């Protein structure tokens, strides 16, 4: 089976990093945003992180323009719908789309309207294409802790109805988990599931703390645990799912060579790894490409694909009926 045709599940995909360049240009015009160069090539270039990006922070600059255009209900609904459509075209059957509502309030939208708009786009796409989706609410971890409660409360009415989890994202310069301990226990009590970006650029202790202090069932990236026995053991013994995003890790210099990516070592040791894009546009990738580069680097075949799929279904924050449906797709 080739990588495009296999059914896929994606657990780690940022909405603002996955906009179609054509849509960004159109939305910028609609919103009278002045661009230095209005050609589609220039817009595309401004969205894609260079492969020799010098750091995670440079990479994160690529989100400025997408966030600027994602400030209306129309834009939010549309980009969510289009991401679902794009994923469905490469046989992704279930996707969890994450974004940080706090970044979409520049033109006066409130948390609730923002979250509802994205969920609306996801649901409209579920009707149009053979794909299901859910939304993860991310919070920028360098922001004031108090602000996360507004996000958690605003998403509550859609919990289990389009919204499934909370996440912490953005640059990882220090230890962050203890500051968010109470907020995450509050979110979990309401029924939110938990995934957290940790160990992306070197601080493995953030993985251990995200699991033990914040109740993370999944970790975004987790590359750093390859050099940290404590984090490794914590992930393994708690059956934590790792959301690996190889292309993104190459761009942010979390790893220097695909062959050095620890996904193979983790996979062969029975760690529950999954494969994801992180950002389809910013990382100029899709799920098919992620499978292809891992296949080539480690000489993997269908057995790997099936295990990744099973791990992804296991780690998905979807309801039981959706998970059961996803597993039937392996048989066809």
Q: What's the Cα-to-Cα distance from 7 to each of 4, 65, 94, 259, 330, rounded to whole Å?
A: 8, 32, 9, 25, 7
Verify binding: residue 200, Zn ion, rule CB under 5 A.
no
Q: Is 137 exposed, middle or buried (0-12, 13-18, 19+ CB in 10 A)?
A: buried
Q: Is 173 annotated as a binding residue?
A: no
Q: Is 14 annotated as a binding residue?
A: yes
User: Residue 35 CB, nearest distance to Zn ion (Å)?
Assistant: 26
User: Residue 139 CB, nearest distance to Zn ion (Å)?
Assistant: 13
Verify binding: residue 290, Zn ion, rule CB under 5 A.
no
How far apart are the C-alpha atoms of 55 and 314, rounded to whole Å? 32
Helix (H) / strand (E) containing 97? strand 92-99
Q: Residue 10: phi, psi to the nearest 5? A: -120, 125
Cβ proximity to Zn ion, 8 vs 14, nearer residue: 14
Cβ proximity to Zn ion, 25 vs 272, nearer residue: 272
For tokens 């940790």, what's the residue? 198
Q: Active-site residue 22, yes or no?
A: no
Q: Pattern of binders to Zn ion over 244-283, x per CB under 5 A?
A: ----------------------------------x-----
Q: CA angle at residue 90 from 14 to 155, to 5 degrees?
A: 30
Radius of gyration, alpha carbons of the chain: 18
Q: Is 32 annotated as a binding residue?
A: no
Which residue among 68, 82, 200, 243 is the active-site one? 200
Cβ proximity to Zn ion, 28 vs 203, nearer residue: 203
User: Residue 87 CB, nearest distance to Zn ion (Å)?
Assistant: 16
Residue count, binding to Zn ion (CB under 5 A): 1
43: tokens are: 């817009």
Q: Is 104 annotated as a binding residue?
A: no
- Active-site residue list: 200
Annotated binding-site residue numbers for substrate: 14, 16
Binding positions for Zn ion, rule: CB under 5 A? 278
């Amino acid at each position: 089976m080739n990588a495009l045709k296999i059914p896929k599940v994606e657990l780690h995909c940022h909405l603002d990093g996955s906009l179609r360049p054509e849509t960004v240009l159109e939305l910028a015009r609609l919103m009278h945003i002045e661009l230095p160069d209005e050609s589609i090539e220039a817009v595309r270039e401004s969205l894609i992180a260079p492969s020799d990006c010098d750091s995670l922070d440079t990479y994160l600059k690529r989100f400025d323009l997408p966030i600027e255009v994602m400030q209306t209900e129309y834009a939010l609904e549309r980009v969510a719908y289009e991401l679902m459509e794009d994923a469905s075209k490469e046989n992704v059957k279930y996707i969890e789309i994450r974004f940080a509502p706090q970044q979409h309030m520049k033109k006066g939208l409130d948390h609730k309207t923002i979250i509802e708009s994205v969920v609306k786009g996801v649901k409209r796409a579920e009707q149009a294409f053979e794909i299901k989706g859910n939304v993860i609410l991310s919070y920028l971890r360098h922001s004031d802790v108090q602000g996360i409660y507004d996000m958690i409360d605003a998403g509550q009415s859609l919990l289990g109805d389009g919204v499934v989890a909370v996440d912490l994202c953005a640059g990882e310069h220090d230890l962050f988990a203890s500051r968010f301990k109470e907020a995450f226990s509050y979110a979990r009590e309401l029924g939110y599931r938990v995934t957290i970006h940790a160990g992306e650029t070197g601080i493995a202790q953030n993985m251990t703390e995200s699991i033990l202090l914040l109740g993370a069932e999944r970790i975004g990236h987790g590359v750093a645990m390859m050099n940290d026995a404590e984090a490794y053991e914590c992930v393994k013994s708690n059956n934590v799912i790792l959301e690996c995003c190889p292309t993104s890790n190459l761009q942010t210099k979390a790893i220097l060579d695909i062959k050095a990516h620890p996904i193979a070592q983790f996979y062969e040791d029975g760690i529950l790894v999954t494969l994801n894009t992180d950002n389809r546009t910013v990382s100029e990738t899709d799920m098919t490409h992620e499978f292809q580069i891992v296949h080539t680097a480690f000489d993997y075949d269908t057995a790997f694909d099936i295990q990744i799929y099973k791990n992804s279904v296991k780690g998905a924050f979807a309801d039981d009926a959706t998970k059961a449906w996803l597993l039937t797709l392996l048989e066809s």
